[in-house]
Amino acid sequence: MIEISRDIRNNIFDALRIESISFSGSLGDVDFLSRLFDLKSLPSYDNRFGSADGDIWQHRENNFDWEDDWIFGDTRFNLLGCSDTEFLKFLCETIHPVVRSEQETVDTVVSHYNEQLALVGWELVPSQKIAGRAIFVPRKLGEFHSQINRASSAADILSSNWMQAEIKRINSAIENDPALAIGTAKDLIESCCKAILSQIVDSEPASKNDDLPTLSKKMCKALGLVPEGIPSEAKGAEIIKRTLSNLASITKGITELRGLYGSGHGRDGKHIGLEPRHARLAAACAIAFVDFATETYLKRKN
């Protein structure tokens, strides 16, 4: 079953057209396509040549009378209708270090690809390196993608562009820079607390000297998310109070984790950082806090 629709594939190709980015990068079209296809086994559209490698060379390198985007509609390669596996392999090859060496361009292309692929639960991620440059592979998006989407929705509710930037930073850093992801998870909670406090008129305002636990306490108090606000006679009162206390503990834990392993501090030569799984845990805790706080804010507002 094909998940990556024709529309999404066209959107990806249109992004390359808009940015005037060649699919074959620094290679000639023949050299690039030879990395993926047996061109000598494919037919030629030019009767002067016996196979695809001849007519592609003639019209792209000798005469140069085919448009740069000719490949996207060529039925021999069927990029609009081939399997997802073949399509993703083609995309990964367009950002291979041998094909494209300019990091800024690679970042732009990957961003365009992932923006569309995320709609059907795929993304391209670095897998290994050649000469310090990443080779990308496709990966199915899992539960963490859903968490990122919830955090992004919270940022929309709070009209916080800064939170959106932090969410993108967390998502892109999880695999390759866990320290940055952990540090940004702490920043995300801080931005959420400040955004909510700024929108509740009668709340105690945030101060530039507030650390994260202090900020979170102010926000929880403004939203009524404090154990003291739960009547003792309420059903499950002790459980609710304990849960709300643990909510505040999240901020303390992430602050301490950031201090030990996150970005923002220098380290000695013996420092050993954490792994992506630890960064995902920190980010998931931060997103759970942000999601709950924002939903509560929205309910109180309405």
Q: Please tell me the predicted confidence (pLDDT) of residue 268.
A: 43
Per 3-state DSSP, the chain is made up of helix, strand and coil in percentages (nearest 5) of: 60, 5, 35
Taking the model in full, what pTM does it have? 0.56
Q: Please tell me the predicted confidence (pLDDT) of residue 90.
A: 97
**Mean pLDDT within 138-146:** 74
Q: Please tell me the predicted confidence (pLDDT) of residue 263.
A: 56
269 versus 25: the higher-pLDDT residue is 25
**Mean pLDDT within 11-27:** 94
* Tokens read off for 264: 């923002």
* Tokens read off for 154: 């919270």
Q: Please tell me the predicted confidence (pLDDT) of residue 158.
A: 86
- Alpha-carbon distance of 22 to 66, in angstroms, equals 13
pLDDT digits (tens, 9 = 90+) for 61-101: 888 888 999 999 999 999 999 999 999 999 999 999 999 98
pLDDT band at 267 (very low <50, low <70, confident <90, very high): very low
- Alpha-carbon distance of 67 to 17, in angstroms, equals 11
Q: Please state the domain extents for the chain.
A: 6-140, 143-301
Q: Return the H-helix or E-strand segment holding 139.
A: strand 133-140
Burial of 171 (0-12, 13-18, 19+ CB in 10 A): buried
